Structure 1
C-alpha cells in the first residue's frame, strides 16, 4: 500500500467518524464543528483525486463562508434541545425507512458499477495542464456568458446588501463618530451650584392651628 492509499483511508475514516458525530452530537455547536471537519476531509479526498478546483472551492465556500455563518447562528440562537427531542421517536420510523431506501440505492449503484465509456467517445485528457487550468479555459471560452450573468447577479446582490445596511433608519440608535469626536464637555454637562444644606421652613400659625 502506497502513501496515497494510506492517506485516502485516513481521510475517509475521519470523514465517516465526523459525519456520524454530526447526527449524534447533543450539542449543536459540536455538530457544526464536526460538519466542518467532515468538509475538510472531503476536500482532502478531492485533492487526492487531483480535483484541486473542487477541493479549494469546498474549503473557501463551505468552510470559509457557509459553515462559519451556521456556527455564528447556532451560537447566537438559544436552542431548546429538550423540545427538539420530544418528537424523535414519533418520526423515527419514517426517517429510518427513508434512510434504508437511500442506503439500498447507494449499495445497488456501487454493486452494479458504472457503465464503461466507449473508447471512441472518450475525450483525451491533456497532461501538460492541470484540470483547474482546463476548467478555467472552458468557463471563460464556451461558458463565458453564463459566468458573466452570474457575476452580474452577485454584484447586484452585494450592492443591494450594502444599500440596505447604509440606509438611514429611524429606529436605529447609531451615532455619527465625527460628532462624538468633536463634542465638548460644556455641551453635554452643566454644573448647577447648590447649597450644601437647606433649613426647613417654619410652620405658619394657621398651619399650627389646623394641626
Structure 2
C-alpha cells in the first residue's frame, strides 16, 4: 500500500466518524464542529484526487462561511434540544429505513463510476485546461438548470432562517415597524396643565424690644 492510498483510508475513516458524530452529538454546537471536521476531511480527499479547486472551495465556502452561519443561527435560535430529542427512538426505525434506502441509491449511482474498464479516454486538450476551467464548463453548460435550482433552494433556506430568528420570544426586544409608523403626536407627547407652585417669601425678622437693647 502506497502513501496516497493510506492517506485516503485515514481521511475517509475520519470523515465517516465525524459524519456519524454530527447526527449523534447532543449539543448543536458540537455537531457543527464535527461537521467542520467532516468538511476538512472531505477537502483532503479532494486533494488526493487532484481536484485542488474543489478542495479549496470546500474549505473557504463551507468551513469559512456556511459553518460560521450555522453557529450563529444555532446560538440565535436558542433551540431546546431536549424537546427535540423526545420520541427519537420511536421514529428511529423509519429513519434507519430511509437512511438505508438513500445509501443503496447512492451506491447504485456511484459504483459504476469506479469501474476503470469503462472509463472514457483522457482528452489531452482537456488535461491542459485544468480542473478549474473544466469544472466551470461542466457547471455552466451541462448542469446550468440544477445550479439555478440549488441557488433558489439556498435563497429559500436563508429566508426561512431569518424568519425563524424573528419569532416572538420572551427575551426578544424587537420593535414592530408598523406600530411605529402608525404612532401619532398625541401618543408620544401628553401635555398636562398644572397649577404653579409659588413659594411664599420668607417673613422679615422681628424688631427687638426696647428693654432688650444693650448699652
TM-score by length of 2: 0.57
Structure 2 partner of 1:39: 39
> In the alignment, what sits opposite 2:72?
72
Deviations 1:126-153 (A, max 9, x none): 44453224445x379x85xx7xxx8xx9
After superposition, the Cα gap between the structure-2 partners of 1:171 and 1:39, relative to the gap in structure 1 and judged at 3 Å, is farther
Question: Which residue of structure 2 lines up, in the alignment, with residue 23 of structure 1?
Answer: 23
Alignment of 1:80-119 (within 5 A): 80-107=80-107
When residues 113 and 50 of structure 1 are mapped into structure 2, their CA distance, relative to the original with a 3 A threshold, is closer
Structure 1 stretches of 5 or more lacking a match? Answer: 158-168, 173-211
Alignment of 1:108-147 (within 5 A): 122=121, 124-125=123-124, 126-135=126-135, 138=137, 143=141
Q: Rg bigger for which structure? A: 2
CA distance in 2 between counterparts of 1:14 and 1:139 reads: 30
Give the alignment's Cα RMSD to 1 decimal.
Answer: 3.8
Please list every run of 5 or more consecutive structure 2 residues that lacks an aligned counterpart in the other structure: 156-176, 181-215
- Look up the match of 1:190: none
Question: Using a 3 Å threshold, how does the CA distance of structure 1 residues 135 and 79 change in structure 2: closer, same or farther?
Answer: closer
2 CA distance for matches of 1:59 and 1:112?
Answer: 28
Larger CA deviation: 47-56 vs 25-34: 47-56
2:165 is matched with none
1:122 Cα deviation from its structure 2 partner: 3.6
Within 2, Cα distance between the matches of 1:11 and 1:117?
26
User: Partners of 1:70 and 1:117 in 2: how far apart?
Assistant: 42
TM-score by length of 1: 0.58
> Cα 1:139–1:91, aligned 2, differ >3 Å: closer, same or farther?
closer
* More displaced 10-residue stretch of structure 1: 87-96 or 101-110: 101-110
